[in-house]
Amino acid sequence: MTATSAPSTRAGTRSSTRRSARTPQQRRNFFWGLVFTSPAIIGLLWFTAYPVLVSLYYSFTSATMMKPAEWLGLGNYESLGSDSAFWNSLGNTLYYIVVSVPLGIAVALFLAILLNLNVRGQSIYRVIFYLPAIVPLVASAVVWLYVFNPQYGVLNTVLGWFGITGPGWLASPEWAMPALIIFSTWGAGNLMIILLAGLQDVPQDLHDQAKVDGAGVFRRFRHVSLPFLSPHLLFALVTGLIAGFQFFTPVFVLTNGTGGPAGKTLVSGLYLYQNAFQFFKVGYASAIAWVLFIIVGLGTALVFRLVGRRVYYGGA
């Protein structure tokens, strides 16, 4: 007993000695540091920590915007199990993620490879490919409403040049979700910049050695560039998964907040919004948010479990 308490006593003594060893100037710096960072700390606690904790409490209540909250226990979570609209929104979200995330990574990687080539006017091409990523989402969605117009839209007009009759896109239950995926791919510029930076970090001497050994372009990409890009691809996969569950603004604008036609574009973020701000079921919407949070956490852990061990960090 004496042997175990002695080290802790010495540690406490050292800690109190360090605190008392602070000079008056250091204490003043610490005080003014807290003063100047207090707006950010208070904002973090009030606008982030407090809403998160309140939403957790509301998820166990019947809270609405019209009446006080009443404790329901797990009632909201049990209702979610038999809510067909919730499961439909979850299925649509998974469909969107499974198709759009790999497609977005492939398009961004292809553009990054093109921009990594030593061609004239490279900076102009970079601006052109990156430009869609900095346009506000609402403005882009309004433009794409005209692009997807079945009668006068640019997309069906171009398909008509090749003798293809374009679908109804946002008016068609079969093509509404593919239309949203095409729209998401339009904004691959941010990921393209990240992958381009990864490509430019690949040591050139490794490429030269592989070339001397007779490796072609594809084998050099497969065995030299791709391992160095693996951390960037893992980042793209994880952030794409999280962003997929947060997908809201484009589908809200393109479908006028309905999730139509026939509920084919009713994703989880839109269903949560409908419950909170159209049906005013704040407690039920909070339960949806926490279920989505748990799914995102488990999905991210699964990605790290399956893919994380295959990532090459350059010998680090």
Residues whose CB is less than 8 angstroms from the CB of residue 201 and which lie 6 or more positions away in sequence, other chains included: 228
Confidence of residue 279 (pLDDT cuts 50, 70, 90): very high
Which letter, b or e, does each residue of 62-74 get, where b requires 16 or more Cβ atoms within 10 Å of its Cβ? Answer: bbbeeeeeeebee
Identity at 1, one-letter amino acid code = M
d(CA 79, CA 285): 12
In tens, the pLDDT along 59-85 reads 999 988 888 788 999 999 999 999 999
In tens, the pLDDT along 100-130 reads 999 999 999 999 999 888 878 888 888 888 8
**Full-model pTM:** 0.85
In tens, the pLDDT along 142-170 reads 999 999 999 889 999 999 999 998 899 99
Q: Is the pLDDT of residue 3 over 50?
A: no
Omega prior to 261 cis, within 30 of 0: yes
d(CA 165, CA 299): 39
